[in-house]
Every structure is written in structure tokens, then in C-alpha cells.
Structure 1
Amino acid sequence: MTLSESPHLPVADRTTAPAWDPVVLWSRPAAEREGTALLVMFHGHLANEEDLMGLVDHLPPNLTVASVRGPHAMGPGFTWFPLAQDTGYSVDLVTDTVAKVASWLDSVKAGHTSVSLLGFSMGMAVATTLLRHRPRDFTAVVGLSGFVVPAEGSEFFNDDDAAAHPVPLFWGRDQEDPVITADRIEFTHRWAVAHTNLTKVLYAGIAHSISMRELAHVKEFLELTVFGIEPQPNRR
């Protein structure tokens, strides 16, 4: 992930959870999380749990943020599942990973007032697959420069329920993103229009990254969908 005008990293504590036992960075110590809204973040391919923590200072301050490390070590970082063009890719590998994430979420969500998701690149596929698996569990989803995976007939995806109970989805990207292919973008757009309450914004010139303007929009989106705070005109 490349962030225009990257902010400093916040102080965070590192914990593990039972069952899957992932590495997680938290924006608050455990004693300060009770009664807060939770935002879970998923990094992109070959990154790690530290990659998105620089976003925290630009999100609503009353959130608790948890950034999760992908389960598979690869190259300089970690990944969630093989790339679609890799010979080892299958939708079952996607759902196996997301099932583990869902189980971990079950172990930490108690005490939080709501759970929302944010994913960058492949992390958006993780976030939206979680949403499709449990459409009624999440308050809002943010996808940045990412995509949605085809279900390929897997019963893991409860898309009919997602369409019946559409969750707010913010999808930000550059139309000239050199990483996410046109077929993935087309599928993602079709799925999101049919199954979510979609807010789609294009950001020229950011390529496969996140801009400060985009973060301002994400903050407004989360303030509205999670906390019911209307955007202020003078903040745009």
C-alpha cells in the first residue's frame, strides 16, 4: 500500500487470538476497547498488519481499529490466498481463509457496539467475502483499490441475503489502477450494485494507492454509517 502524504504510525499493541491465532495490531489497549465500535482492516498482497495502521489517525477517533496479518507468508510479507492467475488459486482457499477470519472475529467482537470492515487491494476481497458470508454482521464496509471474488457456486457466499439486507459499501479506486484488471473491476461493480448500498468514488492519479482526499471521504462515510454523524460542508 502506498499512501500519499503518509501519516505517522500510531502507538499500537500486538495481540493474538485463539483458534486461528493471527497477529493483530490494535489502535487501543484492551482496557479501552469495551463499548467502542470496531473496524477491522485487511492489508493487500505481500504486505502485513502494519501496512494500514497509518490510516488510523485519519479515521473517526472513537473507533477501535484492529489490523490483521494474512495467514500465509510470501515474499516480503503475507497474503490471504493465491492470486487468481496463480495455478494454486481456488475459491475454496478464499473461503477457508475467510472462515478463519470469521472465527477469530467471533472471539473478539463481544463488547463492541458494532463491527465494520476495511480492506485494501486483496484485503477488499477478504472484507467483501466476509460480508457475503455473514451479511447481517457488519455495519459498513470500505474497499480501497480492490475487488470482489466470483463465488463459483460456493455455498459460503450468502449473496441473496446480502441483496435483501444491503450494507453500506464505500469503494474507492483510480480508473487507471495498473494492478486490478478490467474483468475484476467489471465483476466487482456488478456485484456491488446488486448487493450493497454502494458509494463509489474515482480518484484520478492515485494508481494503486490511497490518497488523503480519499481518506477524508472514508472518514465521512464511517462517521455517517457507524455513528450517524452527517458530513459538514466546510470539511470538504
Structure 2
Amino acid sequence: MQTQQLSLVHLVRPAMQASGDGLAPPLLVLVHGYGSNEQDLMALAGYFDPRFLIVSVRAPRTLGQGSYAWFDLEFSPEGIKADPEQMAEGLSMLTAFLKELPDAYAHDPNRVLIGGFSQGAILSIGVLLHQPQSVGGVIALSGRLWPGGLEIADRGALAGKPILVTHGIYDTVLPIANGREIQSALSQLPVELTYREYPMAHEINQDALRDVLAWLGTWMRQ
């Protein structure tokens, strides 16, 4: 499908099969990690339910050829640090982009998922906490909790929202403690949380992908 000129560069895979309920297709928005681009997660599109309209969005900050970020990172002996102002700006740009999608691509506004890897997972959780009305569920792969913890715009709007969080126990980029912090924090909210750990590094292995597909299948049947 030819992409529309929106505020962020993106790729689109149109729904390959009608939903069968007479409604417009559900939307899955993919958000890549630091140093990657919109083609990365879109490479998984062939695994996803053909009824999904898929939009994979490119982060706004250019690091190099084909390399982008939602916010800059500083790698230090104390760990990875990020600029809170840049993070807030990245979140603002992503939520603005989400608001543009209904006019650009026909989809069911009541069936919208956002899924991200690493930095994209951080942003996806940020969308959930700060703009919960804009998404019907979240997939957070190998991420960390949004800074500020559970600073939530509308707690009631989170009720019943399905969330899938996956993390590798051998992750040296964002160690497993980050995944467990997400689990602990989101368990305090009225969401339907599914948390999984795998013997993997900072990646999406076959077991994690299998569970993502199963979770998506359950979400589609709701």
C-alpha cells in the first residue's frame, strides 16, 4: 500500500483478509528499537494474522544511515542513560502520529494495538500510561518501565486492557531486572497482564514470537 505523508515516516502492510465481522480491520502499530528502522519489525509481518492492518513507524532521530532512535542514549559504566526531555518529545511525536492514522488508513478505532521492541517497548508502555484511550492493548518486548513509574493520565481508562511483556533472562542491554520491574509495576494496575521470560539475550527468539502470536490470537477472538 502507498503510505500517506504523515508526521513520521512509516511502512504499511494492508489487511490481507477481511475480518469477517463487517468491521474495518484491526490496527497493529510496530515501534522499533534504538539504532534500527521501520523495516526491522515489519520483517515479522508475514507471521501476523492477515486480518491486521500493520503500520511500522520510523523514529524521528537520525543516528546514521538506516539507523534511528526515539531518544538519544548515553552508555556509561553506571548503565544506559536517557534524556527525559527527549523521551517526552519522542512520546509526544508517537502519540501525535497515532492520532493521524484514522484519517489516513481505514481501520477499526476500537481495535488498535501497539507493539515495540527495546526503546520501542518503552514508548509503547509510555503510550499506555499517558494516552490509554488511544490503544486497546500493548506488546512490550525487551523493554523497561517508562521513567516516573506509574505516573498515569487516567487509571480508569486502563481497566481490562491486555498487555504482553516479554524479556530475556540473558539480556545484557536491558537486564532482566527491567522486565521484572515492568511486571511488578503493571501488576498494580487494572490491566490484564501476561508476563513471560525466556533463555535469550536482547532479542525476539522463536519461543517469544510463538507467545506473541498466541497472545494476538486471543486478542483477536475477544
TM-score interval (norm. to shorter): 0.7 to 0.9
> Do 2:168 and 2:176's aligned partners in 1 also have CA atoms closer than 8 Å?
no
Q: Which residue does the alignment assign to 1:25?
A: 11
Alignment of 1:93 with 2:110, yes or no, is: no
Alignment of 1:202 with 2:197, yes or no, is: yes
Q: Which residue does the alignment assign to 1:82?
A: 72
> Do 2:149 and 2:185's aligned partners in 1 also have CA atoms closer than 8 Å?
no
> Do 1:143 and 1:172's aligned partners in 2 also have CA atoms closer than 8 Å?
yes
Q: Which residue does the alignment assign to 1:48?
A: 37
Deviation for aligned residue 1:178: 1.2
- Pick 1 or 2: higher relative contact order, CA cutoff 8 A, min separation 6: 1
Distance in 2 (CA, whole Å) between partners of 1:165 and 1:137 is 13
Q: Which residue does the alignment assign to 2:101?
A: 108
Distance in 1 (CA, whole Å) between partners of 2:26 and 2:89 is 26
Deviation for aligned residue 1:182: 5.2
Q: Where do 5+ consecutive residues of structure 2 fail to align?
A: none
Amino acid across the alignment from 2:26: A
Of all paired residues, the percent bearing the same amino acid is 25
Deviation sequence 1:48-107 (CA, Å, 0-9, x none): 000111111111111011000001001450000123767983333222211121111111
Distance in 2 (CA, whole Å) between partners of 1:187 and 1:170 is 14
| Alignment CA distance shift 1:91-1:153 (3 Å) | farther
Q: Which residue does the alignment assign to 2:163?
A: 169
| Alignment CA distance shift 1:191-1:152 (3 Å) | closer
The 5 A counterparts of 1:133-148 are 133-148=130-145
Q: Which residue does the alignment assign to 2:50?
A: 61
> Do 1:42 and 1:119's aligned partners in 2 also have CA atoms closer than 8 Å?
yes
Deviation for aligned residue 1:215: 1.6
Deviation sequence 1:152-195 (CA, Å, 0-9, x none): 797xx426345x51411111121111110355334322222122
Distance in 1 (CA, whole Å) between partners of 2:160 and 2:88 is 21
Q: Equivalent of 1:225, from 208, 219, 222?
A: 219
Q: Which residue does the alignment assign to 1:232?
A: none
| Alignment CA distance shift 1:143-1:84 (3 Å) | farther
Q: TM-score, normalised by structure 2?
A: 0.82
| Alignment CA distance shift 1:35-1:49 (3 Å) | same
SS at match of 2:44: helix
Alignment of 1:191 with 2:181, yes or no, is: no
> Do 1:22 and 1:69's aligned partners in 2 also have CA atoms closer than 8 Å?
yes
Distance in 2 (CA, whole Å) between partners of 1:153 and 1:35 is 33
| Alignment CA distance shift 1:186-1:203 (3 Å) | closer
Aligned residues: 208
Q: TM-score, normalised by structure 1?
A: 0.78
Deviation sequence 1:134-162 (CA, Å, 0-9, x none): 223322211111122222797xx426345
Amino acid across the alignment from 1:92: E
| Alignment CA distance shift 1:116-1:153 (3 Å) | closer
Amino acid across the alignment from 2:193: L
